[in-house]
Amino acid sequence: MPFAIRKLVYKDILKIEKMDIPENKTTCIIGESGAGKSTLLKMLNKMYIPDEGSIHYKGTSIKEMNPVSLRRKVVMISQTPLLFGETIEENLQKGLIFSEKPPASQEELESILEIVKLDKNLETNAEELSGGERQRLSLGRVLVMKPEVYLLDEPTSALDEETELAVMNRFIEAAKAHEGTVIMVTHSMNVAEQYGEELIRISRK
């Protein structure tokens, strides 16, 4: 059980009595706009600290954990894709630098671009990418890191339905190949129904 949440309160935004998120599975978080879905994800990697209650990661309270080491294991993609360098290659390698891992080979990076269906060269300037392409680059960047947990905040919101389903299918398969846990906020009932092994609905407090 990577995450066990008990009696959590955050401002007047979130109140969760008990929530368990399973390991090596895909959990989809759904709920109306403003319900607190992004807030919950940000608590799981200690970007926000609950006012009350506890969050345990693999049996240890995250209060006791160093935020940087937690974020190397529990990696987040924000709702608005961020760029971390000039070229696609720099963006893909950035997560490895952050987690102090050796750089990936060109072949590995090219296979990651295929998984996320980003048909571009590694040398392409990332500034040229569209919103949907940047989302796929972000998915690629976290996939290269092979973290224990992926926190994905609407990772495919800018993609058309067909591409969204194809990308998530391949992403989840790749994450599971190294025993990753995927926790994803999504507005897409298609994605939630097809890939959510667990479904958590958040409603306004």
**What is the C-alpha separation between 196 and 174, in angstroms, rounded?**
15
Segment 5 to 24, residues that bind ligand ATP, using CB under 6 A: 11, 13
Quote the tokens at residue 25: 């599975």
Q: How far is the CB of 185 from ligand ATP (least distance, A)?
A: 6
Query: How many residues in total does the chain contain?
Result: 205
Q: DSSP letters along 85-120, please? A: SSBHHHHHHHHHHHTT-PPPPHHHHHHHHHHTT---
Q: Which of 35, 76, 109, 149 lies at the binding interface for ligand ATP (CB under 6 A)?
A: 35
CB nearer to ligand ATP: give 178 or 201: 201
Q: Which is nearer to ligand ATP, 49 or 68 (CB)?
A: 49
37 binds ligand ATP, rule: CB under 6 A: yes
Number of Cβ atoms within 10 Å of the Cβ of 35: 19
Q: Nearer Cβ to ligand ATP, position 22 or 31?
A: 31
Pick the binder of ligand ATP from 24, 39, 111, 194 (CB under 6 A): 39
Q: What does the alpha-carbon distance between residue 87 and residue 77 come to, in Å, rounded to a whole number?
A: 18
Contact residues: ligand ATP, CB under 6 A: 11, 13, 31, 33-39
